[in-house]
Structure 1
Amino acid sequence: MTLATTPRRRIALVAPARYPIREPYAGGLEAFCHTLVRAVRSLGHTVDLYAAAGSQGHVRDVELPGISWSRDPLEASDTAYPPGARAAEDAAFHRLARHLAREGYDIVHNNSLTPVLFEHPLPLLTTLHTPALPEVQDAIAAAGPRAGRFTAVSAATAADWVLPRPATVIPNGVDTDLWRPGPGGEAAVWFGRIVPEKGLHLAMDACRRAGIPLLFAGRVGDHRYFSTEIVPRMTGQAATWVGELDHVGLQTLVSQCHVCLVTPRWEEPFGLVAFEAMACGTPVAAFRRGGLGELLTSAPAALAVPDDVESLAAAVHVAAGIDRPVVREWVVRHHSLTQVARRYAELYSEVPTR
């Protein structure tokens, strides 16, 4: 089915519940949801965003509660829950599911990490953004064919799940009008969530070994990790934290840097920051791990042995020699947001309505 013959759909896009969908984004998943909503709307579909309180442009009458660590900020993490928060989140998703059924959407595009939606009769299309989560996997198994259709952001991620039918692999896309090329510079850059699984401390060690200063930006998602592993490495001018930036600020920073380090310590499903950096023309040195390693294998990028600082330092020097226009052109050709939105629009027409 071509784009011209794809019927216009009424779509509910369900975001993850932990953080608001607004800039500065809490992470790549939140950024994906917001940018995809705009891109799919531009194709003529009606898209309603369901997300946490405090989001931008969402349906306010049926909000998800979000997570607040205000009573114990030092315990904050991106995976745990403060007391009572998990039960409140599950209850909110049950209310949302009943609302979605009453509204009669053509498609419910689920990007959340909850098992709850699989317990309700909805026309689901679920995008898998993470390796298999036991509770969600169990809910999918219990639902069987009623679980709907699935996409995954990489083949590596798709392979980690057991599904009623194979997932369609649709890698994430980058808004190449926003992430524009820049002149480069002298420093390296790292940006993303500052949590142990993102491996910022290894990027800091590699840049010190490579003899290049590092600028890093992002939200502190684990305060203990930040205080014990990051702050002690911020000596002299070796590494500088520039805070949490919105996309405009990040584009300015990244486009004026020499090379970008991407250092996952888990099986990274996609690694959006790598593609955002490349859209700025900034070459990437990354650990060859998960979907990130899969998708960058044929890219103008330098891949390193996972968790190996020496290998990463060598990859920094290799990446620094890659031509910036070549890097930018590869992302435009393979990972533009417009291409991704069109692929989803075509897939929406294949999801059976209920």
Structure 2
Amino acid sequence: MRIAMLAPVAWRTPPRHYGPWERVVSLLTEELVARGVDVTLFATADSLTAAELRAVCPTGYEEDPGLDPKVWECLHISEVFESAGEFDLIHNHFDFLPLSYSRLVKTPVLTTIHGFSSPKILPVYKKYNGSSFYVSISNADRSPELNYVATVYHGIDMDRFTFDPEGGADLLFFGRIHHDKGAREAIEIARRCGRRLVMAGIIQDRDYFIREVKPHLDGKNVCYIGSIGPAERDNLLGSAYALLHPINFNEPFGLSVVEAMACGTPVIAFNRGSMPELICDGVNGFLVRDVEEAVTAVEKIPAINRAMCRKTVEERFTSARMADDYIRVYQRILDITRQSVM
């Protein structure tokens, strides 16, 4: 089985700090290679992998402002499809754009839909619905207008997340500083609980940051530490009292939720999108409707067994399980395409 793995090129694969899609691609690629699958990773030239690496884009365009995203995305995607005949399957993690190439090659194309950035992109997925294969990353993130071959939850490398049976006293917000992720709501929850809040993540909406977050940063009650790498992430997640995830959108998955639980840290999340598929209310965290319910949930955190948080991830959200699921999907697609040729 020869797989062409198409990663985004916004960031390096794996990312140095932020880059959730690139992180998933890296974890999946390395797990597949460890199983003996022949994988060629199409990613930035500075990417790190045990697979064969093919690259035209020197580095992530989010890391080098001198790179024009459209130019390098076009060069990157065309590189994959111009060599499509070398592979049994192309696994697309690059959103909708590569689908416009898919009918020009005989190699089947599997697209993992990492979420819908806007309903405006749906027409592309609808056009290729009958000729490509789609995987959703949660049951909640499925469009009723599309057909899916499977739902495959993201997985993480458990060795990179240390279980902390005690945790600490601080609440944690770990994600993009953006209205969608509920940074302002996290500050309000912490204020009403009288607990210190540590915030980490890229500033994706600077106006929002200046208006809703910056006025509350005092280094004492609310502390913003920026975007952090894997080593700092492990310690930060494990030492938290709870992760606050007060989202204002239907979260397609939520890697930070799983990563926090892997360290033993319970999660308090607004009950939207995929959250009920990740969090068992009262077992590894709490599903709440609003800030008021989140404040009440903070008081209930001592009732959560941190070992159960870790166990949830070990049983359901490892990179090994993710690779197993995708191998089954690959085989199913190859069986379908072979039968259609006969």
Q: TM-score, normalised by structure 2?
A: 0.87
In the alignment, which of 39, 64, 70 is matched to residue 47 of structure 1? 39
Letter in 2 for 1:189: L
Cα RMSD of the aligned pairs, angstroms, is: 2.6
Query: Counterparts of 2:158 and 2:62 in 1: how far apart (Å)?
Result: 33
SS of equivalent residue, structure 1 residue 146: coil
Aligned residues: 329
Query: Counterparts of 1:132 and 1:195 in 2: how far apart (Å)?
Result: 14
Contact 1:190 1:261 survives alignment (8 Å)? yes
SS of equivalent residue, structure 1 residue 157: coil
The structure with higher relative contact order (CA 8 Å, sep 6+) is 1
Matched, 1:285 2:268: yes
Query: Counterparts of 2:84 and 2:121 in 1: how far apart (Å)?
Result: 20
In the alignment, which of 244, 251, 272 is matched to residue 268 of structure 1? 251
Query: Counterparts of 1:188 and 1:320 in 2: how far apart (Å)?
Result: 13
Report matched runs for 1:1-354 at 5 Å: 9-52=1-44, 54-57=46-49, 59-63=53-57, 66-68=60-62, 85-86=69-70, 88-89=71-72, 91-102=74-85, 104-120=86-102, 121=105, 122-131=107-116, 133-134=118-119, 136-147=121-132, 149-158=133-142, 160=143, 162-163=145-146, 165-182=147-164, 183-235=166-218, 237-297=220-280, 299-305=283-289, 308-352=290-334
Provide runs of 4+ in structure 1 moved above 4 Å: 68-72, 132-136
Following TM superposition, by how much is the alpha carbon of 1:17 offset from its aligned partner in structure 2, in angstroms? 3.2
Following TM superposition, by how much is the alpha carbon of 1:280 offset from its aligned partner in structure 2, in angstroms? 0.4
Instruction: Check 1:235–1:94 CA distance in 2 against 1; reply closer, same or farther (3 A cut).
Output: closer
Once the two structures are aligned, what percentage of the paired residues are identical? 28
Residues 199-253 of structure 1 deviation map (CA, whole Å, 9 limit, x = unaligned)? 1121111011111111121122222222221111113511112222212210111
Following TM superposition, by how much is the alpha carbon of 1:312 offset from its aligned partner in structure 2, in angstroms? 1.7
Instruction: Check 1:24–1:190 CA distance in 2 against 1; reply closer, same or farther (3 A cut).
Output: farther
Bigger shift: residues 263-272 or 240-249: 240-249
| Structure 2 match to 1:5 | none
Query: Counterparts of 1:171 and 1:240 in 2: how far apart (Å)?
Result: 32
Q: TM-score, normalised by structure 1?
A: 0.84
Residues 302-350 of structure 1 deviation map (CA, whole Å, 9 limit, x = unaligned)? 1111xx2222222222234311112111221122221111111121112
Letter in 2 for 1:109: H
Query: Counterparts of 2:121 and 2:158 in 1: how far apart (Å)?
Result: 33
Instruction: Check 1:64–1:310 CA distance in 2 against 1; reply closer, same or farther (3 A cut).
Output: farther
| Structure 2 match to 1:77 | none
Letter in 1 for 2:20: G
SS of equivalent residue, structure 2 residue 135: strand
| Structure 1 portions without partners, runs of 5+ | 1-8, 73-81
SS of equivalent residue, structure 1 residue 350: helix
Contact 2:243 2:268 survives alignment (8 Å)? yes
Following TM superposition, by how much is the alpha carbon of 1:134 offset from its aligned partner in structure 2, in angstroms? 4.5
| Structure 2 portions without partners, runs of 5+ | none
Instruction: Check 1:23–1:89 CA distance in 2 against 1; reply closer, same or farther (3 A cut).
Output: closer
Instruction: Check 1:69–1:286 CA distance in 2 against 1; reply closer, same or farther (3 A cut).
Output: same
Contact 1:115 1:135 survives alignment (8 Å)? no
Residues 266-305 of structure 1 deviation map (CA, whole Å, 9 limit, x = unaligned)? 1100111111100100111111110123332465211111
Residues 47-69 of structure 1 deviation map (CA, whole Å, 9 limit, x = unaligned)? 22222454334734333875459
SS of equivalent residue, structure 1 residue 26: coil
